[in-house]
Structure 1
Amino acid sequence: MKRGDTAVEEDEKDGEVLTWQETGGSVLKYNIRQLHVFGVWPLPGSAPFHAYTVLVSAIGLAGLAQDLAGVCACWGDLQEVTMALIHILSVSSGFVKLAFFVRRRRHFNALVRRTDRLVAAQGHFCDADATLRATFRASHRKAVYVTLLAYGYLSVQGVIWLPLPLIAHPGERRLPFMQMPAAATASVYVYALLYSLQCLSSMFVTFVGVTVDCFFAVVMIHTAVQFRILNTRISALRADAAVPVDTGTAVGGQTSEHDSLYKQLCQCIQTHQRLLRFVTYLDSVMNPIAMTQFTFGVIVVGITLFQASYSPSSSTMFKCVTWLPMPSTQIFLYCWGAHDIMDEGQSVSRALYSCGWVDAPPGFKRALRLVMSCAQRPISLTAGRVYAINRATFISLMNAAYSYYTLLRQFNSR
C-alpha cells in the first residue's frame, strides 16, 4: 500500500464519530462532553439527540429573531439598540461557530484523536522522568481550570443578567436583553414566553460559543506543553547520559554511546516534525473560529464599554461591567495559547544549542545543524489566515474595540 493511501485512510478513520467511552481517556474530555450536553457533539448521534440539537438551534434562532424584531421596533433609541446588539452579536458569534463546527465535524473528531496521539507519543518520557511528569500534570490542571473557570463565570453572569429585570424593575415587565413594546401590554403568559425565550437562547448559544473557545484553548495548552517536554528532552542529550543501544558491538563503549545519542536525536526530530504537522492541522481547523471570535468580540467589547459608560440605568451599567471581561477573555484565550506555542517552538533551537553537542561525533553535529536551521522557522497560528495570533494581536484588537467605543461616544454626543 502506498504511503499516500495510508495517510488518506488514517484521515478518514480519524474523522469517524467519537463515542462516549472513547472520550473518557481524552485530554479534551470535559470540553467534548460539555458540547455533547448542549446538543452539538454527537457521541455518537441518535434520533433523539439530533431532535434535541434541532430544538436547541430553534430556541436560539427564535431568541435572535425576537432581538432583531425589538431592534426594529426601538430603532432610533441608541441606548436600547446598542444594549440589544450586545446580545445579538454574542448569540450570532455562537451560531457562526456552531455552523463551522457542524460543517467540519469530521475535522474536529480528527483533531481530538490527533491531540490524544500527540500527548501519548511522549507519555513514556513523562512516566520515566519526574520533572516531565510534573510539567505535564501542571499543564493538564491548567487546561481543566480554564474550562471550569469559564463555565463558572458564565454561570455567574446568568445569575446576574437573567433575573435582574425582575429585581430592579418589579412590575414593569422588563426583559433581560431586548425590550419588546408588546411585553408591557400582552398577557402574563406571553411575557413569560418572551422572557424564557431570551434566557434560554442566551444560555444555550453563549455556552456553546464559549465552550468551543475553551476547546481550542485546551488544545493549544497541550500543544505548548508537548513542545516544552521536547525541549527538555533535547537539552538533556548528552553522550554520557545516553543509554547504550548495543553494548556487544561497542568498542570501549564509545561507539555504542554515540549511536544511542544519535538515535535519541532522531527520536526528538521525529517528535518535532510531528508537532509541526499538528500545528499546521490545528491552524486549518481553528483559524475560521478564531476569526469569528475576533470579529464579533471586538464589536461586543466596544458596545459593552459604551453601555457601561453612558447607560442611564444603573442595573444596565452593572450588567455591562460584569459582562465586559467575558468577550475580552475569549479573545485572550486564543492569543495567549497561540503565543505560548510560538514561544515554545522558538525554544527548540535554544534547546538544541544547550545539549551536549561539544563532545558529540561529527555526524551528530551535522544533523544538529540541519535541525537547528529548521527549528528557527517561526511557528504561527492565524485568524482566518489573515494575520498571526499572538499577545500583540490581543493588544491591537483591544485598541480596535476602544476605537469603536470612541466612535459610539462621538455619535451619542451629537
Structure 2
Amino acid sequence: MPTPHHPDVVIIGGGILGCAIARYLSRLPGLNIIVVERHGLGEQTTSYAAALLTRIRPHQALTALAMETFRAIEEMGQASDEPLPLRSVGSLQVSAQPNGQRQLKETALRAAEAGVTAEQIAVQDAMKLAPWLDLTPDTAALWLPDDGYIDPYSLCMAYAAEGRHRGVRFRLKQSVSNLLMQGGRVTGVRLGHGEVLTAGMVVDAAGPWSTVLARQVGIHLGMAPVRSHYWISAPDARIPAHGPMTILPDNGAYARPEVGGLLFGLRDTQAVVADPAALPESLQGFRFDTDPAGERALEGGYTSLQSQLPLLDELRLAHYVSNVSSYTPDGFYLLGPMPGIEGFIAATGCSGAGIGMSGGIGRFISELISGQSTFVTPEPFRLDRFGAIDPFDSDFIHRCAEARARKRTG
C-alpha cells in the first residue's frame, strides 16, 4: 500500500509539464503522487515562455496535444471562480515567400481536417488586425481566430491547484540527487538531504536537467539546451492590447502585444547552446556564453524583420528575456519509457512548445502510466528513435540547435 515514502508515482520537476501530469494522474483513483521540485512551482523555464497557443501544428499528433491543452484550460476555468487568463486574440500568419506560403496552405488544410477555423484574408485586412505590420501586395495571410496566448505561470498554478485538491503532494525546495535502480528497473529517487522515495514509476519532467538525471540509469535523452529569447518594447499607443499573435515564417519571427508594448522573438540563425552537464541549479539570471544579451541575434535578424514590421525602428526596447529550451533534432518531444528499462518515463524535450502542449502531454503520460490506450500515437515521441547518441557531444548538441533555427511556426 502506498505511503508518504512509497508513492505510486514520483514526478521530478514542478514546471508546467510536471504539474500538468500531476493534474491528469490525480484523476485516476487510488494513485499516490508526489511532485519533487528543487525551487518553487513554475519558477524556471515555465515562467520565461512567450506562451503562444496555436491549435494547428505540423503533425496530427501535435495538433491533438495542443487541442487537449485548450480543452484543459476551458475545463479548469469553468471549475474555478474565474476563467484562466487566456487571451483569445487569434493568430495571424503572413508570408511573401514561396516556402512560407506553402506553410500557410498546409496549415489551412490541417485546420480543415481538424475542424478548426482558418481563413485566408486580404493583406489590407491583415494589417487592420495587426497594425504594426506593413505587408506587400503579394503577401498571403491566414487568420486563425481561435488561437491565443496565456500567462504560463497562471496555467502551471492551475494544473497544480487541481492536482493538490485531489491529493497530489508537492515537495518544494527539495532536490533529487539520484535515480535509484535495481536490475533493469528504476525503483525511486534519493533526495538531496538523503531521504529515499521508492515508487512504482518515476517521471523525469525536469526540463533541461532531465538529461543529467536520466544518464544515471543509462538513458541518453536526445535533446540539448538551446537558447530561446524575445524582446519587449516599451508601451506604445500604436500596439492595440487585443491585437493578434503574428507568426512571420519569412523571418523566423513572431510578435504579439504585451503590457502595452510589442513582444517579438527571433530564431538564432547560428546555434546558441549550453552544456547540459554544466547548467546551474537555477536559471534565474542565467545567460548563455555566446551573445549573452542577444545583440548579435537582433542585429542579424533586424533587417528582415523590419521589412514586415517597420514600426520596429520607432519602438524603444525595454526588456530582453532569454532562457533555455530543450530541443530534439527532429522537433518532436521525448515522451514515454525507454525500452529495456522499467519504472521510468520521460516527459521533456518539448522544443519550445511546452506551454502549448502541456495539457496534451499531461493526458498522454497519465494514459501511459495507467495502461490505457493513448489518445495520440506514441511513435513520434519514442526515446530511442535517434539510435545510439551522446547528448553531451557537441556535434549532437548542434544538431538540436539546428532544429530551432529551422522552426517557422511560432
TM-score, scaled to structure 2: 0.27
Tell me which structure has the larger Cα radius of gyration. 1
Q: Greater strand percent: which structure?
A: 2
Choose between structure 1 and 2: higher helix proportion: 1
TM-score for both structures, normalised by structure 1: 0.27
